[in-house]
Amino acid sequence: MDFSTRLRDHGLRVTRQRLAVLGVVDSHPHSSADAVAEKVRRDLPELSLQSVYNVLNDLTAFDLLRRFSPPHSPALYETRVGDNHHHAVCTRCGRVEDVDCAVGHAPCLTPSDSHGMTIQIADVLYQGICKDCAERSPGPAG
Amino acid sequence: MDFSTRLRDHGLRVTRQRLAVLGVVDSHPHSSADAVAEKVRRDLPELSLQSVYNVLNDLTAFDLLRRFSPPHSPALYETRVGDNHHHAVCTRCGRVEDVDCAVGHAPCLTPSDSHGMTIQIADVLYQGICKDCAERSPGPAG
DNA sequence: CCGCTTATTTTGAGTAAGTCAAGATAAGCA
DNA sequence: TGCTTATCTTGACTTACTCAAAATAAGCGG
């Protein structure tokens, strides 16, 4: 299903800016707002950063995009939604990889004591050193 | 073991600012830098926000504090370190609760495919609605 | 207890990542 | 094709943090 159809299915107008943002995030998963703006501007030079923030936020609200906030990083966006997958982040270079969820839907884990909260999501953030960084500077993880 | 001893054990000077910050974070876990500054200033009116950031960052680097970055929130700090516990966050009010780690040390989960990364930590973020928010505005989770 | 060294704090400036809102533009419908 | 209104651009702003020089204070040795 293409992006135009998905937008219309949610009662959203199909704009060049939205299609461009979705296309860039689809081909470059885990992109920041700045990175998306830079790439979209190759085709739409007049696109504003404000508009990128608007589009990313609006489409995340409608589950057309997923937002992921690793520590020490701007928010990152991806089009892979609905499968509750997790992420692995390299603590040296910031590289992000998708990790399939063993269960496939949220919440995939339940806390030992939820303190009365109704849990809806369990996000797992794996942190470590990627292969490239381990090769470049073999510290204790090498 | 008190904070002075822990600071000395790490070769760090024992300053009034550090002791005050540690004390506040200990009695108010999951506090932001702003919240810490506000409380410490009741005893040390001349404490600067810059100093709070310095102390929080330095003590986190030495594992005297733990930093936790929920989405849509400034970084939060706590003195509970070393047990790899997780967190549950209310998506409406931002309330944070500790959740014990079933394993007790990192990493407590391993990814199905680590993409060549050497995984060191697995942080689980549980998100949901706390009891108070559910009672106040019973949406779909009510 | 005092002086010296140097880690740390304060001060002032700045950056990065985002939000707010008014006016302009363009998507879509009749 | 014209009208409505969602969305974009523009300009301003806020929040959460960092940077670095000068001042201060912690701690050690004599």
Transcribe A102-141 into DSSP letters: SSSSS--S--S--TT-EEEEEEEEEEEE-HHHHHHS--TT
- Whole-angstrom Cα distance, residue B46 to residue B55? 15
Q: What is the pLDDT of residues B53-83, one digit of tens each?
A: 999 999 999 999 999 999 999 999 999 998 9
Comparing every residue's Cα with the C1' atom of nucleotide C18, the nearest one is A53
Does the structure show a pLDDT above 70 at A141? no
| Interface list for A 16-75 with B (CB within 8 A) | 67, 69, 71-72, 75
Read off the amino acid at residue B103.
Answer: V
Query: How near does any CA of chain A get to the CA of B93, in Å?
Result: 12
CA of A91 to C1' of D24 (A): 36
Q: Sketch the domain layout of chain A as residue ranges.
A: 3-76, 83-136
A48-105 pLDDT, tens per residue? 999 999 999 999 999 999 999 999 999 999 999 989 999 999 999 999 999 998 776 7
- Tell me: the pLDDT tens digits for B120-142? 999 999 999 999 999 887 655 44
**Nucleotide with smallest C1' distance to residue A58 CA:** D7
Domain B3-76 sits in CATH at 1.10.10.10
Could you give the maximum distance between any two Cα atoms of chain B, in Å? 52
Report the run of H or E that residue A67 belongs to, with start and end.
strand A66-68
Check whether B102 has a pLDDT greater than 90: no
Q: What CATH class does A83-136 carry? A: alpha beta
Give the nearest partner residue to A88 out of B67, B111, B126, using CB atoms: B111
What's the ipTM? 0.89
Which residues 6+ apart lie within 8 Å of B23 measured at CB?
A: B3
